[in-house]
Structure 1
């Protein structure tokens, strides 16, 4: 038996002689064959392990680039951002469990991200959801200003993705307006009506009306006359005199002792009496003018927001046979009030005494045209419903003013 080297590094056995041996020779030949096979497998295993180890070592050694190969360019910001997103992706949507290979879930639309939410992310999501101004803003503001009822018809018709949603439009414009109003409040009062609030001392604070060249106005105090038991003669008391302009005044003497609340509930009467007197003392103290104006500005958005569903309810009543849902009337209400705040904000920014007095006229004309365009009725029917709507809405405004007064002087 000879062990001959194979080209592949293994071994194989060959017999010398042409005839097998008898007895022991045949048994010896079988043993030699098994031994050769075992040696062959052993050398083959070690040879394979050596080749694999050398290949792995060669792979760890950096290979030089070919001379004619292009140098890889640096990653752009978009590519880096895509790499970060790819590292944060989850194989399934964390919201609905759908397989999600891309950045957004194909089932629910949620962004495919697995990292923990930070405060920055939370604030950014809130701003993006409610106050983001994107390319939709000019496409929405121009029709809102110059095409009454257009945005409402587009939204009801289903063309919604190209415009800002009605509620987001209203929130953004109203917040912007009240920010502008708070910034220019002192200028507005000084320039438009020269509004000042003065605190007078003494029990003999005059309750008279100044005459001017145009007209004479007299405003009686809505509160009950002073209580003699609580207002002894000669007592030093405080009052509030509200003066509008140099050509006239609106004297309103308010004393905490003059306030008397009677609701039929003694506990509620004591609570309201205590709250109102505390507010009057606060507003008649030094710096009370600024606090009064600031409190009214803070409570005004709440009262106006309550008018939105009331306005939509009135439209629902007047157009109950149109088959429209209440939500469609609410969309009309959101767009109309957004127009009001937008025009008032523009007039406030211009700070012109010529524009501000004309804004109510513009609002009334806009409302009539918008009703014609949205509800598609004749001008006579629209005029009748328009008049009834104005009457009902004026009553609602009175209640909103009462609400502002309650929020200002009670809460």
Structure 2
């Protein structure tokens, strides 16, 4: 979609006199576009330039959400102009996700939080525990069984006290205690690092797919597009879950989220890699297992780095 430009007759930067065809100044390179307009016009242009909210965007989202793997397949066979580029879509959705994540967390703590015995403020989302302790860091993960085990361990004050006593409050244990005492500051730092973690997780998961389906002789980029679309959908799903959690705080969505994620991955693998339903199911088991282990390792690594950078 062509950009609707408000053109100058003369470049404000260098004084070059524009011709009608000049979208950029031939002399200094500045864009020939007047930004001195009401804020609502700038917001509309941001959405237009970032995601192209026209038929292309809605068609892309429809295929991404309702037809697992089809968008990746179309990209891989060269049908790209009609859809939002995968990486641009991922960046836009991930920004919304982390914004909603931070916003809903703050709102819930302010409206429903209560002080615990140790002075920490705790609350909950469906399938998510929020507190000013380290446990709130687990909010940013999808609450898989493995990550819930990590949360149980961190919630055990006795185990934490034993660890601190054994290490004499020195080294990493000391840094860990310092990190957990910072509350909201630690949470915000963890959110920031989690966004970078997810950015690294996508190409790593693509590598897993590349190795598993190596006999299909596909380029790595094809698997990367699959991973980007998959994680974009996961972000959209978690955005919906966070918003539902605001409306129905008592609703438990743990298993529903895990089921939808698994089901989406299954149908996406079937669509893109063209195996039978049975072969796809047999492939899903090792791929899903490796993905969960990878997610756990990346998450623990993110917590470790966040603690060290405190």
Judge same fold: TM > 0.5, yes or no.
yes
More helix by share: 2
Partners of 1:88 and 1:356 lie apart in 2 by 59
Residue 18 (structure 2) pairs with residue 88 (structure 1): yes
Q: Paired residues, what number?
A: 257
Contact 1:130 1:168 in 2 (8 A): no
In the alignment, what sits opposite 2:61?
141
The answer for the alignment partner of 2:119 in structure 1 is: none
Q: Hey, what does 2:256 align to over in structure 1?
A: 358
Give the alignment of 1:236-385 within 5 angstroms. 242=155, 252-254=159-161, 258=165, 260=167, 274=171, 277-284=174-181, 288-351=182-245, 352=248, 353-355=251-253, 357-385=255-283
Q: CA RMSD in A?
A: 3.8
Change (3 A) 1:282 1:404: closer
Q: Residues 178-257 of structure 1 correspond to what in structure 2 (within 5 A)? A: 178-186=98-106, 187=108, 189-192=123-126, 195-196=130-131, 242=155, 252-254=159-161
3-state SS of 2:124 partner: helix
Segment of structure 1 superposing worse, 128-137 or 343-352 = 128-137
Distance 1:112 1:276, change over 3 A: farther
TM-score, structure 2 length as denominator?
0.69
CA distance in structure 1 between the aligned counterparts of 2:277 and 2:252, rounded to whole angstroms? 30
Structure 2 gaps, min length 5: 36-41, 110-122, 135-148
1:7 match: none
TM-score (norm. length: structure 1): 0.54
Deviation digits for residues 307-329 of structure 1 (CA, Å, limit 9, x no counterpart)? 11121111111211112100000
1:185: Cα distance to partner? Answer: 1.3
Structure (1 or 2) with the larger CA radius of gyration: 1
Going from structure 1 to structure 2, the CA distance change for 1:198 and 1:309 (only over 3 Å counts) comes to closer
Deviation at 1:376, TM superposition (A): 1.0
CA contact (8 A) 2:51 2:84 kept: no
Structure 1 SS opposite 2:97? helix
- Tell me, in whole angstroms, the C-alpha distance in 1 between the residues paired with 2:133 and 2:91: 35
Q: Report if aligned partners of 1:144, 1:151 keep a CA contact under 8 Å in 2.
A: yes
